[in-house]
Structure formats: structure tokens, C-alpha cells
Structure 1
Amino acid sequence: MKIFRHLFRFYINSSIHVGLSCLALFCITQQQLFFSSLFSLVLFVFLGTVFAYNFVKYESLIRRRKNTIRKELKAIVGFSGLVFLGLLYYCFQLRFQTQLGGFFIVALTLLYALPFFPNRSNARNWKGIKIYIVSLCWTLATVFLPALEGDFSLDVMVFVYGLQRFLLVFVLILIFEIVDLKNDDPLLQTVPQQIGVERTKKLGFGLLVLFLALDFLNGNFSLLSLFFILVTAFFLAFANEKRSHYYTLFWVEAIPIFWWIFLILYK
């Protein structure tokens, strides 16, 4: 039982789970917008998500504690190194315009993680901006990269779909911010810190209603999408500061994964 606990911790802490969540949203895009299967881009998005999250989470920790890194973190660093090599390989399999899109996401990630400007912290610590950068990166990776690689016309439908994806990720992050409220630095000015938990939940519910309205407009509405929006609303409604971190790190991040699985079965 102990070995399974360690494997599960590694699965969560090495960002494999969040990588699968991003991959699931990517595959949902492929199925709903009828993009062809792009194996190289699928792996690029998955590996890129895993590496980006590990970089953001552990870069400063490794830099500050070079001589006191515990074994699990060393394993994650080694794993991330292999992920990075795979990421580079599949990057060179992509079309040039997709590489440019990927480079832009990398630039946003570095801006989010590293302090580029004198006397300024990184963008992660800029008041209130974190949620917008993360939502934008996920939207670009799961909607616009497959459109670029597949040479799909960036018409109104794609941009409306991209707006939907941004709204969905935004709401999922709101759940994280509510659960992490007692641990987040007040200077971060997350949404719950600015407007309170109850107003944050009302904001999230409103954005989910807007998501469904755009679903009708885009012609993608189905009982399946309604079901998973209700599931998201359920997790938002019951989010609070006393919830375990696994409430978000596993269950909330699993929503896109189950959505993808059910979409495959539904089709």
C-alpha cells in the first residue's frame, strides 16, 4: 500500500495529472471542432504542460536549496529533464506557425515564473494577474495550437470556442483559489481575496452560464457538456478553505479527463 501512496504522490507532484487534464481539453477540441489527429502535437502539449508546471512549481525551490533537495524532488527533476528532451523532439515535428505559437506560450510561462524586470517580482506575484495568464496559456495550447497545426481557418467559431475554453479554465482556477485562500500570500490579490468567497462563487456560476450560452451559439451544446458544467458548478459550490488539496489537485483537475472519456464513449 505504501508503494501505491508514493506512486500517487509522484503522479500528482510531477504534474502528470495536470498534463493529462490539459491533454484531455486538447482532445475535446479535436473532437468538437473536427481537427484531424495530430500525434506530435498531442505529445507536445502533454509534455509541455508537465514541464511548464514542474518548472513553475520547483524552479525557485531548487535555486534556493541546491544542497538540501529531497529524494522525491530529485526524482521529479530527473523526470522533468526527460520530459524536456521529449518536448524538444516533438517541437521540431511541428509546423513553423505552431512552433511560433508554442514559443509565445513559453514566453508567457517564463514571464509567469521568472523575475525579468529590476525590483519586480515575477508575473505570478503581480496582483490579480495569475489567473488570466494561466487561463490564456491553456486556451492557446488546447484550442489555437491545434488550429495552427491543422491549418484550420481561425474564424469566429474558433475564437468563440477559445473564449469558452478560457471561461472554463478560469472557473476551474477559481476553485483552486478558494481552496488555497488561507495559504495564499495576501499580496497575490487572487479573486477570492479581492471580492470574497461568496462573490467568487457567484462569478464562477455566471461564467458557467455564459459558457453554456456560447455552446448554443457555437453549435456544440449537448447533454454531456451540460452534465460536466453542472459537475464543475458542484465542485465550485462546495469549495472552501477546509478542503484537502486533493480536492483540486486530483478531483477538479480530473473533470476534463472524465469529460474526454465520456465524450469518446458518447460518440
Structure 2
Amino acid sequence: MRIFKKIFNFYIDGSIHVALSCYALVCMTQQMFQVSQDETTAYFAFFGTIVGYNFVKYEALARAKKAQMRNELKAISILSFLSLLAVGFYFFQLQRITQIVSVAFLILTLLYTLPFFPNRENARNWAGLKIYIVALCWVGVTVVLPVLNAEINITSDFYLKCIQRFILIFVFILIFEIIDLANDDPYLQTVPQQIGVRPTKIAGILLLIPFYFLEFLKTNFDQKQLIVNLILVSIISLFLLFANEKSSKYYTSFWVESIPILWWLMLVFIQ
């Protein structure tokens, strides 16, 4: 049982689970735009998420040059290094425009993590901006990159999908911010810190309304997609309503991050 728990914690702490969520969202985009046989972008996003999230979470330890590192952190470092090699491999298989845009999002991630300017905090600590930067990065990786790499014509459906994905990630982050409210620095000015937990939950549920109904504005909306999206909205609403500061870390790091995977599987099942 202890070994299973260690493996599970490594799966979560090593960002493998959130990477699967990212992979699922890329596959969702490809399926919605009828892109076939393009595993390169999905794998690039998967391994890139492992590298990016582990860098954000553990770069402070690396910069401090801690002499004593737990075995789990050493294993995560090895995983991140191998994932970085995989990112490099898949990067050179992407279209040139996709490579350029992916570098732009890499710079945004570095800006979010590292203090580039003297006596300045990194973007993660810029009051109130964290949620928008993270949501924008997820939109870029899970919508923009797969569409660009497939050389699909940019239409109104693309912009609608970007807006939908931004709203979805934004609401997910609201759940994280509610759970982390007791531990977040007040300077961060997260949404729950600014308006309170209950208004944050109401705002999240209200945001899910345009997320759902934007589907009707698409050129060829799929009725099956509407059913799946309704189930998705219901699940997210429940997680949002029951989120509180005393919830286990697995509430978000496993269950909430499982929702994109479930969304993708539901769409695959009904097709």
C-alpha cells in the first residue's frame, strides 16, 4: 500500500497527471477540427507540460542548489530531463509557424517563473495576473498549436474555441484558488482573496453559461458535443460548489485535473 501511494504521489507531483489533461485537451481540439494522424503536437504538449509544470514548481529548489534532495525530487528531476529530450525531439517535427508560436509561449512561461528584471518579482507574483497568464498558456498549447500545426484555415470557429477554452481553464483555476486560499500570499490578489469564496463560486458557474452556449454559434455544431458539454458543465459546477479550503490536495491535483480526460473520453465514446 505504501509503495502504491509513493507511485501515485510521484504520478501527481511529477506533473504526469496534469500532462495527461493537456494531452486530452489537444486531442479534443484535433477531434473538433477533424485533424487526424497528428500525434506530434499532442506528445509535444504532453512532455512540454511535464517540463513546464515541474520547472514552475521546483525551479526555486534548483536555483537554491539544495545539497539534500529527497529521492522523489531526484526522480522528478530525471523525469523532467527525459521529458525535455522528448520535447526537443517533437519540437523539430512541428511546422515552422508552430515552432515559433510555441517558443512565444515558452517565453511567457519563463516570464511567469523567473524574475527577469532586477528587484522585480516574477509574473507569478504580479497581483491578479496569474490566472490570466496560466489560462492564456493553456489556450495556446491546447488550441492554437494543434490548429496551426494542422494548417487549418482560421475561421470564427477557431476564435470561439479559444474563448471557450480560456473560460474553461479560468474556471478550473478558480477551484484551485479556493482550495489554496489559506496558503496563498495575500499579495497575489487571487479572485477568492478579492471577492470572497461564495462570489467566486457564483462567478465560476456564471462563466460556464457562455462556455456552453458559445457552442451554438459554431458553423457546424454537433448535438452530441452539446450533450457532452452539458455533462461537463454539470461536473465542473459540482466541483466548484463543494470546493473549500479544507479539501484534500487530491481534490484539485487529481480529481479536477481528471475532468479534461473524462471530457475527451466521453467525446470519443459517443462518436
Calculate the TM-score normalised by the size of structure 2.
Answer: 0.97
Equivalence map 1:19-58=2 (5 Å): 19-58=19-58
Structure 2 unaligned spans of 5+: none
Determine if contact 2:176/2:252 at 8 Å carries over to the other structure: yes
Residue matched to 2:215: 215
- Counterpart CA distance in 1 for 2:121 and 2:61 is 15
Alignment partner of 1:10 is 2:10:
yes
Cα distance between partner residues in 2 of 1:266 and 1:214:
21
Distance 2:182 2:12 in 1: 21
Structure 1 runs (4+) greater than 4 angstroms displaced: none
| Aligned residues with identical type, % of pairs | 52
Shift of 1:35: 1.8
Provide, for residues 199-224 of structure 1, a one-character-per-residue CA deviation record: whole Å limited to 9, x for no partner: 11111011100101101112245211
Task: After TM superposition, give the deviation of residue 167 of structure 1 in Å.
Answer: 0.2
Q: Work out the CA distance in 2 between the residues paired with 1:227 and 1:23.
A: 20
AA paired with 2:270? Y
Q: 1:65: Cα distance to partner?
A: 4.5
1:169 maps to 169
1:30 CA displacement: 1.0
2:260 maps to what in 1? 256
**Worse overlay, 229-238 or 58-67:** 58-67
Q: Deviations over 1:48-79 (max 9, x none)?
A: 01110000000012222421211110110011
**Which residue in the other structure is 2:108 paired with?**
108
CA shift, 1:242, in A, is 0.8
Are residues 1:225 and 2:256 paired? no
Contact 2:30 2:147 in 1 (8 A): no
- 3-state SS, counterpart of residue 105 of structure 2: helix
Residue range with higher mean Cα deviation, 49-58 or 34-43: 34-43
Aligned: 1:132 with 2:158: no
The equivalent residue for 1:188 is: 188
Deviates more, 1:139-148 or 1:217-226: 217-226
Match in the other structure for 2:120 = 120
Unaligned runs of 5+ in 1: none
Query: Size of the alignment, in residue pairs?
Result: 267
Q: How does 1:26-105 map to 2 (within 5 A)?
A: 26-105=26-105
Letter in 1 for 2:7: L
* 1:36 Cα deviation after fit: 2.3
RMSD of the TM alignment (CA)? 0.9
CA distance in 2, matches of 1:19, 1:40: 15
Q: For 1:152, what is the secondary structure of its paired residue? A: coil
